[in-house]
A and B are shown apart, each in its own frame.
Chain A
Amino acid sequence: MATEVKLPRLGQGMESGTIVKWLKAEGDPVEKGEALYELDTDKVTQEVEAEASGVLLRIAVQEGEVEVGRTIGFIGEQGEAVVESPDGDSAGAAAARAKVEAPTEPSPREPEPTTAAAPSTNGRIKASPLARRIARERGIDLASLTGTGPDGRIVAEDVERVQAQPTPASDSLLLARAPSREVESRPLTSIRKTIARRLTQAWTVPAFQLTVDVDMTRANELVAGQRELNPDVRITVTDVLTKVCAQALMRHRDMNVQYADDALLAFPSAEVGIAVAAPQGLVVPVVHGAERLTIAQIAQVRGDLVGRARDAKLRSDDLEGGTFTISNLGMYEVDQFVAVLNPPQASILAVGATRERVVPRNGDLLVLPMMTMTLTCDHRAVDGATGAEFLKTVKAFLEDPGLAL
């Protein structure tokens, strides 16, 4: 068998060389160790010795640049046949190339939520990171503040001085948009596309709505009481609503269902989703097993979910498995609205603002904190009476929380 003459790797990092000229011709005898050809590398032109003795049967590459490992000739016995492969690439060169490991690609970064300070007409708002955080948490628009720090920087104290907004039931970011004269075309984010697709799908479902007014006196007392008991956790009305709905779902198992193509799926536990307006769009993180959690625990879970929703750090198990959704637009002072179903869930509760209203009771006119809530149900899974009974229970629990025990 003829020996292949391959271009050797003559130095660390050498990938190729240029054959300048052969010092033997085809048919010449060759001794191992004899100079065979001249090679030009990055550093120097040098003679390369033959690694075998015999006859130079064939020169496969006469001159020019060749990769390390490529077959450039054959040495063997006189008269031997020579088999040339189409591209003289050798395993060695491929191995050498394969040895260089590609650096791992950094994973694509999650889109960052926009910060609370928007470009004002004068340019970037100067505020310390701490000030920004406090402003974000409290829903305060930095553009509305004057900074007392060096160079007019807004510092924490400046934000703290602003009277805190009434605590929104579900936190959201205020996105101040700069006024602009042209029509802007904003490409759809994947979240927006998902929302569009799913809610269009939801809209095709035969749904009905039920509305009821609730006296929130006792519920408000409950919130206040819970806050006193749990000073480290920010407890809101939404947390009470979550607990109440969870309890109600467990009492009305027919409500904790979903319509699937050939069956109704009944769930053992209340997985209550809470609609959150995150900067990237509407998301509905789920409080799993809400019927087993205390109000304080729900508040903690909700706080964590909302924080992560804002930072675009929700995981798939935060968003999956919900059986019911609460959407609270009360902090936006909406009196009443109808929420669109969150498929594949069978129902969603739209909660409005709690306001003082004059309410006749037993012949008297009372001024009570009233709230209107509207339940939307998927009629394929839930009938009117089932929905009505559920809603009645929710109202009862809110007006007399002891009934939920």
Chain B
Amino acid sequence: MPELSYREAVRDALSTAMREDEDVFVMGEDIAEMGGSMGVTHGMLEEFGKERVRNTPISEMALAGAAIGAAMQGMRPVAEIMYEDFMTLAAEQVVNQAAKLRYMSGGQLTVPVVFRTQGGAGWSPGAQHAQQLEAWFVHIPGLKVVFASTPEDVRGLLWSSIYDDNPVVFFEHRTLYGIKGEVPEKIEPIPIGKARVHREGEDVTVIATGRLVHESLTAAEEAEKEGISVEVVDPRTLQPLDEEALVGSVKKTNRAVVAHEAVTRMGFGAEVASVLQYQAFDWLDAPIERVGAKFSPLPFAPVMEQFVVPHAEDVLAAIKRTVGRNGN
């Protein structure tokens, strides 16, 4: 099987869709000549031209809103919001408009737009360039929210998101762009709303997203050495959530850890924990653990950033607490 980096996988999904479908086009800040601040659209201007690979001014509301307007007319635009933090600027259009247009029109409209963005800590980007805000968007009825963590997943899911008739907020993680992974020869669409089991286990289920999928797999290896068998599951789609898979796994292992890079408090993990508690109550042998960032904005100094953000050892500690015994 061929190997692609996460970045290349995103580009491959976009390019393949644009080759096959005149209605697909991309717009965003600095995506044309520069190829995007994360290099995702590198080379696409040359292939597709400036009509379909559009630089926009720094105006997230118009960027998001124009994408919505074009989608309302039947095109399938993919708008790139440079940093997840700037989703706050686009939010009026994403939340008040895209999410609700179909509903308010009584079903007359579809808005097949994708908002691609990336976030995450690492290498001191500072508090306004590193947030993980998925919890805000999974809370809005009308939006779908996807967060893939591997090249294969990001390619297959971006494809499905482009062809989903609903507005999709598509999160990427900045530290994952360089990771390489095997992908099928041809793009295989991955259904929205289906989780993926990365590693099977018997003692505890770790449900993780984004960068924390990889941290959890590392933690699982460590735990194995101590005789703890860990199952790692990536929901991949945050809304709609594959409750069946997640609950099914916890019913098998009787213990759960939910891990994400976003701030723990009031985060996406809190909802997952609640779903598990409710549906697997009689199967739980330990309280559900949550791993996430501490409740603070992201600091600049590397030692502080390291402290705030979760890593494999935090997942491992949580795993151990679920199987813990007296005194541990």
Determine if A128 and B321 form an interchain contact, defined as CB atoms under 8 angstroms apart: no
Cβ of A131 under 8 Å from chain B: yes
A48 to chain B, nearest CB (A): 34
Of B25-33, B263-271, B277-285, the one touching chain A: B277-285
In A130-151, which residues have CB < 8 Å from any B CB? 130-133, 147-151
Q: Which residues of A contact B286 (CB under 8 A)?
A: 128, 149, 155
- Report how far A132 CA is from B325 CA in the complex, Å: 17
B287 to chain A, nearest CB (A): 8
Determine if B254 and A150 form an interchain contact, defined as CB atoms under 8 angstroms apart: no
Determine if A129 and B284 form an interchain contact, defined as CB atoms under 8 angstroms apart: yes
| Chain B residue at minimum C-beta to C-beta distance from A148 | B325
Once A150-B321, A156-B254 are accepted as A-B contacts, the answer to whether A130 and B283 lie under 8 Å apart by CB is yes
- Report how far A147 CA is from B328 CA in the complex, Å: 13
In A104-147, which residues have CB < 8 Å from any B CB? 128-133, 147
Cβ of B326 under 8 Å from chain A: yes
Q: Which residues of A contact B284 (CB under 8 A)?
A: 128-130
Q: Which of B282, B285, B326, B328 contacts A152 (CB 8 A)?
A: B326
Determine if A130 and B326 form an interchain contact, defined as CB atoms under 8 angstroms apart: no
Determine if B283 and A149 form an interchain contact, defined as CB atoms under 8 angstroms apart: no
Cβ of B324 under 8 Å from chain A: yes
Q: Which of B281, B282, B326 contacts A150 (CB 8 A)?
A: B326
Number of inter-chain CB pairs below 8 Å? 36
Q: Which residues of B contact A133 (CB under 8 A)?
A: 282-283
- Report how far A132 CA is from B282 CA in the complex, Å: 8
In B114-153, which residues have CB < 8 Å from any A CB? none
Q: Which residues of B contact A150 (CB under 8 A)?
A: 321, 324-326, 328
Determine if B254 and A149 form an interchain contact, defined as CB atoms under 8 angstroms apart: no
| Chain B residue at minimum C-beta to C-beta distance from A156 | B285
Task: Mark B253-297 against chain A: 1 for CB-CB distance below 8 A, else 0.
Answer: 010000000000000000000000000011111100000000000
Q: Which residues of A contact B324 (CB under 8 A)?
A: 149-150
- Report how far A150 CA is from B325 CA in the complex, Å: 5
- Report how far A150 CA is from B286 CA in the complex, Å: 9
| Chain A residue at minimum C-beta to C-beta distance from B277 | A129
- Report how far A312 CA is from B23 CA in the complex, Å: 58
Once A130-B254, A156-B254 are accepted as A-B contacts, the answer to whether A148 and B326 lie under 8 Å apart by CB is yes
B326 to chain A, nearest CB (A): 6
Q: Which residues of A contact B325 (CB under 8 A)?
A: 148-150
Give the total of A residues in contact with B, Cβ under 8 Å: 14
Interface centre among A130, A147, A151, A156 (most CB of B within 10 A): A130
| Chain B residue at minimum C-beta to C-beta distance from A155 | B285
Determine if A131 and B321 form an interchain contact, defined as CB atoms under 8 angstroms apart: no
Once A150-B321, A156-B254 are accepted as A-B contacts, the answer to whether A129 and B283 lie under 8 Å apart by CB is yes
A138 to chain B, nearest CB (A): 14
- Report how far A156 CA is from B328 CA in the complex, Å: 17
- Report how far A152 CA is from B327 CA in the complex, Å: 9
| Chain A residue at minimum C-beta to C-beta distance from B251 | A130
Task: Mark A43-67 against chain B: 1 for CB-CB distance below 8 A, else 0.
Answer: 0000000000000000000000000
In B311-326, which residues have CB < 8 Å from any A CB? 321, 324-326
| Chain B residue at minimum C-beta to C-beta distance from A149 | B325
- Report how far A130 CA is from B253 CA in the complex, Å: 11
- Report how far A128 CA is from B326 CA in the complex, Å: 14
Determine if B285 and A130 form an interchain contact, defined as CB atoms under 8 angstroms apart: yes
B279 to chain A, nearest CB (A): 12
| Chain A residue at minimum C-beta to C-beta distance from B281 | A129
- Report how far A148 CA is from B326 CA in the complex, Å: 5
Determine if B282 and A129 form an interchain contact, defined as CB atoms under 8 angstroms apart: yes
- Report how far A148 CA is from B324 CA in the complex, Å: 9
- Report how far A178 CA is from B283 CA in the complex, Å: 28
Determine if B328 and A128 form an interchain contact, defined as CB atoms under 8 angstroms apart: no
- Report how far A129 CA is from B279 CA in the complex, Å: 12
Q: Which residues of A contact B328 (CB under 8 A)?
A: 150
- Report how far A150 CA is from B287 CA in the complex, Å: 10
- Report how far A240 CA is from B294 CA in the complex, Å: 60
Q: Which residues of B contact A151 (CB under 8 A)?
A: 326
Q: Which residues of B contact A155 (CB under 8 A)?
A: 285-286
Q: Which residues of B contact A132 (CB under 8 A)?
A: 282
A222 to chain B, nearest CB (A): 33
| Chain A residue at minimum C-beta to C-beta distance from B284 | A129
- Report how far A147 CA is from B324 CA in the complex, Å: 12
| Chain B residue at minimum C-beta to C-beta distance from A133 | B282
Determine if A130 and B282 form an interchain contact, defined as CB atoms under 8 angstroms apart: yes
Q: Which residues of A contact B282 (CB under 8 A)?
A: 129-130, 132-133
- Report how far A101 CA is from B194 CA in the complex, Å: 39
B319 to chain A, nearest CB (A): 14
| Chain A residue at minimum C-beta to C-beta distance from B280 | A129
- Report how far A156 CA is from B286 CA in the complex, Å: 10
| Chain B residue at minimum C-beta to C-beta distance from A157 | B285
- Report how far A156 CA is from B323 CA in the complex, Å: 11
- Report how far A101 CA is from B181 CA in the complex, Å: 56
In A240-294, which residues have CB < 8 Å from any B CB? none
Task: Mark A141-178 against chain B: 1 for CB-CB distance below 8 A, else 0.
Answer: 00000011111100110000000000000000000000
Q: Which residues of A contact B283 (CB under 8 A)?
A: 129-130, 133
- Report how far A129 CA is from B254 CA in the complex, Å: 10
Q: Which residues of B contact A152 (CB under 8 A)?
A: 326
A33 to chain B, nearest CB (A): 36
In B26-50, which residues have CB < 8 Å from any A CB? none
B265 to chain A, nearest CB (A): 22
- Report how far A152 CA is from B324 CA in the complex, Å: 11
Q: Which residues of A contact B254 (CB under 8 A)?
A: 130, 156
A134 to chain B, nearest CB (A): 9
- Report how far A151 CA is from B321 CA in the complex, Å: 12
Q: Which residues of B contact A131 (CB under 8 A)?
A: 285
- Report how far A150 CA is from B322 CA in the complex, Å: 9
- Report how far A149 CA is from B287 CA in the complex, Å: 11
The 6 closest A-B pairs by CB, nearest first: A130-B285, A133-B282, A128-B285, A156-B285, A129-B284, A150-B324
23 interchain pairs (CB within 8 A)?
A128-B284, A128-B286, A129-B281, A129-B282, A129-B283, A129-B285, A130-B283, A130-B284, A130-B285, A133-B282, A133-B283, A147-B326, A148-B325, A149-B324, A149-B325, A149-B326, A150-B321, A150-B324, A150-B325, A150-B326, A151-B326, A152-B326, A155-B285
- A130-B283, A131-B285 are known; give 15 further A-B pairs, CB within 8 A: A130-B282, A130-B284, A130-B285, A132-B282, A133-B282, A133-B283, A148-B325, A149-B286, A150-B321, A150-B324, A150-B325, A150-B326, A150-B328, A152-B326, A156-B285
